[in-house]
């Protein structure tokens, strides 16, 4: 996926995209192997003797970090780059001048860190993202993560009268929970998912963004006459399609339809709203409004074709602005919209959008310096670090604010406007982090990908996907999660 949120969307049984968000450099197609699962299961032993002793708790050091203890931070090296994290590390080093900090970035999170989890010597802070993301459902289930509640209840970096949790965007805390109150993951990026397009291209058709499906088909017909496809998408990774399709299902049928899907309820996929939305998307294929060759394109190729004006719309996450910066023309006027609905009978208003946390940060249970890992996150959740991230990578953070005084890029400005328009109508389907393999490989590749390539009818795709969901529901080797 792009390289952030989406891709970071967890793995099977996980608690969070990433797709997306990332996941943003999405967790492309790989899924953690059994060797990882079994290895995790076997890593017992108590090496608490290696842990750094607690430091002195003060107003400036509310997590009682040992000011001479080393701190190790491993970042996923994806679409957001590493500069924002390096800048935050410098603040940690300035605050704790006697501590040595080891910072590194890699795309191979699982293969680099799995052996260290098994040996009981993991780093203190990890951005667990990308194609090689470790399965967070497994990490939580095997008690391999530190509960981040002390961080959330600590005073915020900027205002001691406010707790960290009170400075976060809606949904961030809940996304880090699996069962109960403990918070195992802190999603640092905030991803807006939806339909991305060039406002300039839409203006050239003398059209507004379509709010109903009849209008969508009319806009695509007009584009086709001008030699432009209506849509393209990451055909090789069709789990990008849900970035606009799932919130459309929520808009048409209400949040409870998405909740039933997340809960793996029997016949959830057979709801009339799902059928109507699948049929709407299939119509794009049937009418020839999808860019020819799309099923063979990966995320970068589809984004490039779209940036070159070969297609008007693409389902994606807000990492796309940074990831495609080298191919998006200066006058493109990048914009994002909530998904088009069916008609006035939809349950939720136009503007209903999917937005949620991406870039999952974790502190391992066996970290030598867990308070240091949490303090590094507390620094990153300051207004200054949040602004630094936003200005450098064109994406919002989990910190609720941090855009004042920053010149916003077109896509970011459009994303902020889309969130304002949505108001309370923000949905957050959890399938992609609770059941990553189901979402990516089965629903995405074998279901939606086949339907959009014309190899399955909507009815066949629904039957197939419901079958996959039923299998997952019955599979005792998978940890199951439910909306509370």
Beta bridge partners of 73: 103, 125
The predicted model scores a pTM of: 0.79
Contact call for residues 229 and 293 (beta carbons, < 8 A): no
State the residue for tokens 């197609």: 29
CATH hierarchy code of domain 193-355? 3.40.190.10
All CATH 3.40.190.10 domain ranges of the chain, comma separated, are: 6-191+356-422, 193-355
38 has a pLDDT exceeding 70:
no
Tokens for 444, please give them.
């995405």
Nearest to 238 by CA among 26, 11, 482: 26
Distance, in Å, from the CA atom of 223 to the CA atom of 209, rounded to the nearest integer, reads 13
Sign of the C-alpha dihedral computed for residues 159, 164, 166 and 169 taken in this order:
positive
CA distances from 153 to 64, 156, 162, 164, 183 (A): 13, 9, 9, 6, 11
Taking only the tens place, the pLDDT of each residue in 448-457 is 999 999 999 9
Among residues 41, 35, 443, 58, the alpha carbon closest in space to that of 261 is found at 443
Q: Which fold has domain 6-191+356-422?
A: D-Maltodextrin-Binding Protein; domain 2 (3.40.190)
**435-471 pLDDT, tens per residue?**
888 998 899 999 999 999 999 999 999 999 999 999 9
Name the pLDDT band for 14 (thresholds 50, 70, 90). Answer: very low
Q: How far apart are CA 41 and CA 143, in angstroms?
A: 10
Q: In the prediction, which pLDDT does 481 show?
A: 86
Report whether pLDDT(88) > 70. Answer: yes
Cα separation, 399 vs 225, whole angstroms: 44
Answer for the pair 243, 315: CB distance below 8 angstroms, yes or no. yes
Read off the pLDDT of residues 259-271 as tens digits, 9 standing for 90 and up.
999 999 999 999 9
pLDDT tens figures, 25-37: 333 333 333 333 3
């Amino acid at each position: 996926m792009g390289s952030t949120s989406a891709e970071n969307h967890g793995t099977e049984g996980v608690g969070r995209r990433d797709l997306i968000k990332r996941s943003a450099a999405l967790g492309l197609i790989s899924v953690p192997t059994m060797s990882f699962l079994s290895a995790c299961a076997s890593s017992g032993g108590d090496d608490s003797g290696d842990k750094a002793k607690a430091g002195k708790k003060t107003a400036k050091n509310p997590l009682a970090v040992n000011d001479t203890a080393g701190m190790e931070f491993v970042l996923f090296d994806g679409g957001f780059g590493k500069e924002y994290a390096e800048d935050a590390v410098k603040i940690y080093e300035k605050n704790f001048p006697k501590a040595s900090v080891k910072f590194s970035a890699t795309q191979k999170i699982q293969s680099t860190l799995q052996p260290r989890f098994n040996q009981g010597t993991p780093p203190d802070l990890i951005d667990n993202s990308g194609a090689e993301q470790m399965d967070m459902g497994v990490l939580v289930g095997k008690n391999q993560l530190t509960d981040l509640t002390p961080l959330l209840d600590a005073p915020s970096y900027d205002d001691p009268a406010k707790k960290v949790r009170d400075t976060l965007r809606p949904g961030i805390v809940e996304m880090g929970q699996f069962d109960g109150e403990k918070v195992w993951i802190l999603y640092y990026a905030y991803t807006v998912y939806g339909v991305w397009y060039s406002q300039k291209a839409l203006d050239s058709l003398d059209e507004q963004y379509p709010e109903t499906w009849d209008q969508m088909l009319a806009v695509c017909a007009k584009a086709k006459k001008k030699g432009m496809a209506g849509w393209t998408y990451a055909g090789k990774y069709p789990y990008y399609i849900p970035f606009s399709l799932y919130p459309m299902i929520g808009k048409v049928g209400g949040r409870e339809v998405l909740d039933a899907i997340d809960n793996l309820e029997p016949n959830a996929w057979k709801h009339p709203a799902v059928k109507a939305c699948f049929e709407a998307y299939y119509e794009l294929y049937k009418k020839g409004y999808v860019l020819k060759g799309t099923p063979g394109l990966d995320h970068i190729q589809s984004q490039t074709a779209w940036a070159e004006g070969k297609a008007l719309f693409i389902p994606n996450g807000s990492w796309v602005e940074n990831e495609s910066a080298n191919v998006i023309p200066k006058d493109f006027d990048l914009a994002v919209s909530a998904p088009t609905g069916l008609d006035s009978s939809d349950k939720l208003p136009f503007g209903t959008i999917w937005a949620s946390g991406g870039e999952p940060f974790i502190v391992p249970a066996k970290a030598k310096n867990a308070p240091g890992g949490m303090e590094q996150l507390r620094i990153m959740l300051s207004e200054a670090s949040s602004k630094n991230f936003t200005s450098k990578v064109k994406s919002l953070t989990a910190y609720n604010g941090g855009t004042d005084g920053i010149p916003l890029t077109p896509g970011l400005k459009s994303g902020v406007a889309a969130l304002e328009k949505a108001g309370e109508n923000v949905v957050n389907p959890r399938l992609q982090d609770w059941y990553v393999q189901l979402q990516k490989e089965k629903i995405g590749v074998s279901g939606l990908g086949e339907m959009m390539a014309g190899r399955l009818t909507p009815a066949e795709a629904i039957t197939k996907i419901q079958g996959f969901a039923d299998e997952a529901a019955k599979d005792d080797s998978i940890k199951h999660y439910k909306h509370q």
